Structure 1
Amino acid sequence: MLTILACIFVFGILVTVHEFGHFITAKLTGMKVEEFSIGFGPKIYQQQEGETLYSLRMLPLGGYNKIAGMDPEDPDDPERGFNSKPAASRMLVILAGSLMNFILPVIIFFGIFLAYGMEVPENRPILGQVVEGYPAAQSGLKEGDRILSINGNPVKEWIDIRNEIISAGIKRIPFEVQRGNEKITISVTPDVNPETGKPFIGVVSSLKKVELTPIQAAVSSVTATKNIIKNMYASLYHMITGKAKAEISGPIGVAKMAGQVAHKGFDMLLQFTAMLSLNLAIINLLPLPALDGGHFLILLIEAVTGHKLGKNAMQNIQKVGVAMILALTIFATFKDLTR
């Protein structure tokens, strides 16, 4: 039950925020929005307000704005139709959904940091996480271990761990560890970090929570969002270039993760929502048919060349895009089911 509620919460927020971006910019640029819908399938609620029908549908896995003249099959509206507006206005409407998905995490992180505080690395030489599959875990180091010395040299602060590992190089290094009431010695042979070229063993410091002022929370929320975006683009680049294995999750995988995170607390579910929002924004801006990025690219080409694509061409592009997205969704769902 918690997984279902978590999914409705996460997808509901992401879809509403994304579609609201398209909706508000369409309204502000003078376009006629005939329907603003959250979800797909049968309607469970609808309300007509002025020229716009607001509807809520059964499946909260998407949404849409029906903007006059935007669909190639719609009749042209020379006054308030999508295609009657300047290229800059149309581009803004297309980009606004993803822009809102970039803004949402900043707001979420600001609220979390203000309400719950912010986790920062501790300076004490205590292992907060020992990453599976790396030298530290393979050698027997455990979360909560306090490092007393490395290679015979005393360790007082977390930075000492990093410095001693780099100084020792790629060889077996004795770690003197305080584990509970006993002191033990564990030998670890570092690996080479492929990104930095330096020795590492796969450990992360423990964390502590600190309270932030509103200004500190605002700055930290922007910084956290910026760092996540940077890491996501780096991961995407590594997957495209074959430097990293492509890991794709479909709706089932995302739903499962939402349920798992929800059990850890509401703040963790909010963080998951923020991460997913950034994923949605980045993917949606890819220059592929049927995605906002593909639509933006078409508008950009039209603006540069001064020629609009015909209705048949737009319909064919959309069909290809929908087929690609459907195929990717089926593939991702199959991967979810076979994991």
Structure 2
Amino acid sequence: MSFSITMILAIVIVFGILVLVHELGHFITAKLTGMRVDEFAIGFGPKLAGFKYGETLYSIRAIPLGGFNKIAGMEPDDKSAGDRAYWAKPVWQRMIVIVAGAAMNILLAYVLIAAILFTSGIQTPVKEAALGGVIDQKPAAMAGLKKGDIIIAINGEKIATWQQFAAKIKVSDGKVLQVQYLRDGKKAMTNLIPEYDKTAKQAMAGVVAATTHTPVSFASSLVLAAKQVVYITYTMIAAIFGMIMGTVHADLAGPIGVATIIGQAAEIGIQSVLNIMILLSINLGIINLLPIPALDGGHFFTLFIEALRGRPLSPELMRRSQFVGFALLLILMFFATAQDFSRLFG
């Protein structure tokens, strides 16, 4: 698929915010626990600009994807920060700093859900097959369908609900569908040819359902957002566990696949991008807490062992575990990227 400027901007902004918020969690808790933070950067690569406030350098880097912060004493051999070094702090404080990144990703998702509920209310698809949006350059748009059209029949078969319409489209890849619809109360006819979407793994027409709006109070939005975060988190953890146990197909998306999903959401609108950001933010938080060396969860696990033993693991063992962790991540990334290319070009 080709990427427009809007899609590219959406991809950069979403990736940037997710990683930046994650690093901000580490930064804030490091400061609160008295650790010395030498640098907090927005982006990666060569430094474009920066200023020093107190002991911390705040910089903007050339590659606008996420950011990082440099906490003194993350390496046990670094003695420059004295009792303000990361390694010199109590285990429980280091644990807080490590999990804070994932916690901020979960918090971001919660805030976004609450904001959407409060500002937009609950959107419920209408019963009839009414088009709430039509994406440019997609089959429905090329067939002349527009927002507000109501699908009433396909190939002479009556369509009464959105579910019936979606079911017809889903299994009609490459087929010519004779679509009868209502526009401003007048009947019209067009031919629609759904196309197979490799990301969704089904035929699609490039439309979204019309919805009804139910207002949500501020207090209700906070409660409903918490319930949604819990539900999404539970669903994702269950899926990960299922993949590990082999009961769920390991259908992974790497950076290319995620970028494609964000780009497709950008074609629909800002709320679709926010919905994808919510899912990705929770996913990033969960993945980072897996007990795999080189991830925050692996780091937390070694701190947990240190708390039980009363002393840290040896530097050599830590280096070896980090090497194994990076190797596992590279293998997983290769597998996910291979699936991305399979979906795009297979």
Tell whether 2:40 aligns with 1:36. Answer: yes
Tell whether 2:140 aligns with 1:146. Answer: no
- Over 3 Å counting, the alpha-carbon distance change for 1:331 and 1:38 in structure 2 is farther
Tell whether 2:303 aligns with 1:299. Answer: yes
Of 79, 82, 88, which residue of structure 2 is paired with 1:78?
82
**RMSD, matched Cα:** 2.9
| Structure 2 counterpart of 1:64, one-letter code | F
Instruction: Show the counterpart of 1:97.
Output: 101
Instruction: Show the counterpart of 2:22.
Output: 18
Does structure 2 retain, via aligned residues, the 8 Å contact 1:91–1:299? yes
Partner SS for 2:268: coil
Provide the C-alpha distance between the structure 2 equivalents of 1:260 and 1:143, rounded to a whole number of angstroms: 30
Deviation of the 1:309 alpha carbon = 1.4
> Which sits farther off after the overlay, 71-80 or 328-337?
71-80
Instruction: Show the counterpart of 2:240.
Output: 236
Q: Percent identity?
A: 44
Provide the C-alpha distance between the structure 2 equivalents of 1:234 and 1:86, rounded to a whole number of angstroms: 33
Deviation of the 1:256 alpha carbon = 1.0
Of 325, 332, 340, which residue of structure 2 is paired with 1:328?
332
Does structure 1 retain, via aligned residues, the 8 Å contact 2:18–2:105? yes
Give TM-score, length-normalised by structure 1. 0.74
Provide the C-alpha distance between the structure 1 equivalents of 2:225 and 2:47, rounded to a whole number of angstroms: 37
Q: After the TM superposition, which residues 121-160 of structure 1 pair with which residues of structure 2 at under 5 Å, given as runs?
A: 145-146=159-160
Instruction: Show the counterpart of 1:212.
Output: 216
Tell whether 2:129 aligns with 1:115. Answer: no
Q: After the TM superposition, which residues 52-71 of structure 1 pair with which residues of structure 2 at under 5 Å, given as runs?
A: 52-71=56-75
Deviation of the 1:11 alpha carbon = 1.0
Tell whether 2:229 aligns with 1:225. Answer: yes
Deviation of the 1:63 alpha carbon = 3.0
- Over 3 Å counting, the alpha-carbon distance change for 1:268 and 1:141 in structure 2 is farther
Summarize deviations over 1:222-242 as a string: whole Å, max 9, x none. Answer: 122111111111211221111
Does structure 2 retain, via aligned residues, the 8 Å contact 1:40–1:58? yes
Tell whether 2:290 aligns with 1:276. Answer: no
Provide the C-alpha distance between the structure 1 equivalents of 2:330 and 2:46, rounded to a whole number of angstroms: 20
Provide the C-alpha distance between the structure 2 equivalents of 1:290 and 1:28, rounded to a whole number of angstroms: 24
- Over 3 Å counting, the alpha-carbon distance change for 1:141 and 1:280 in structure 2 is farther
Provide the C-alpha distance between the structure 2 equivalents of 1:142 and 1:38, rounded to a whole number of angstroms: 57
Q: After the TM superposition, which residues 253-272 of structure 1 pair with which residues of structure 2 at under 5 Å, given as runs?
A: 253-272=257-276
Provide the C-alpha distance between the structure 1 equivalents of 2:263 and 2:287, rounded to a whole number of angstroms: 23
Provide the C-alpha distance between the structure 2 equivalents of 1:65 and 1:143, rounded to a whole number of angstroms: 60
Does structure 1 retain, via aligned residues, the 8 Å contact 2:76–2:87? no
Does structure 2 retain, via aligned residues, the 8 Å contact 1:72–1:315? no
Does structure 1 retain, via aligned residues, the 8 Å contact 2:289–2:298? yes
- Over 3 Å counting, the alpha-carbon distance change for 1:39 and 1:313 in structure 2 is farther
Does structure 2 retain, via aligned residues, the 8 Å contact 1:35–1:54? yes
Deviation of the 1:329 alpha carbon = 2.0
Partner SS for 1:244: coil
Summarize deviations over 1:69-92 as a string: whole Å, max 9, x none. Answer: 112453363310011111110000
Tell whether 2:261 aligns with 1:247. Answer: no
Deviation of the 1:247 alpha carbon = 1.1
Summarize deviations over 1:282-308 as a string: whole Å, max 9, x none. Answer: 100000001000000000000011121
Partner SS for 1:254: helix
**Tell me, which stretches of 5 or more residues in structure 1 are unaligned?**
130-139, 148-157, 159-178, 183-204
- Over 3 Å counting, the alpha-carbon distance change for 1:116 and 1:318 in structure 2 is same
- Over 3 Å counting, the alpha-carbon distance change for 1:45 and 1:249 in structure 2 is farther
Partner SS for 1:237: helix
- Over 3 Å counting, the alpha-carbon distance change for 1:143 and 1:118 in structure 2 is farther
Provide the C-alpha distance between the structure 1 equivalents of 2:267 and 2:15, rounded to a whole number of angstroms: 17
| Paired residue total | 276
Instruction: Show the counterpart of 2:151.
Output: none
Summarize deviations over 1:30-71 as a string: whole Å, max 9, x none. Answer: 000111123332223322221111223233444322111112
- Over 3 Å counting, the alpha-carbon distance change for 1:298 and 1:119 in structure 2 is same
| Structure 2 counterpart of 1:306, one-letter code | G
Partner SS for 2:312: coil
Instruction: Show the counterpart of 2:172.
Output: none
| Structure 2 counterpart of 1:146, one-letter code | A
| Structure 2 counterpart of 1:57, one-letter code | R
Partner SS for 1:219: helix
**Tell me, which stretches of 5 or more residues in structure 2 are unaligned?**
132-153, 164-179, 188-208
Provide the C-alpha distance between the structure 2 equivalents of 1:325 and 1:50, rounded to a whole number of angstroms: 36
Deviation of the 1:144 alpha carbon = 9.0
Deviation of the 1:254 alpha carbon = 0.9
Instruction: Show the counterpart of 1:199.
Output: none
Does structure 2 retain, via aligned residues, the 8 Å contact 1:73–1:311? no
Does structure 2 retain, via aligned residues, the 8 Å contact 1:285–1:293? yes
Q: Which 4+ stretches in 1 moved above 4 angstroms? A: 126-129, 140-144, 179-182
| Structure 1 counterpart of 2:48, one-letter code | I
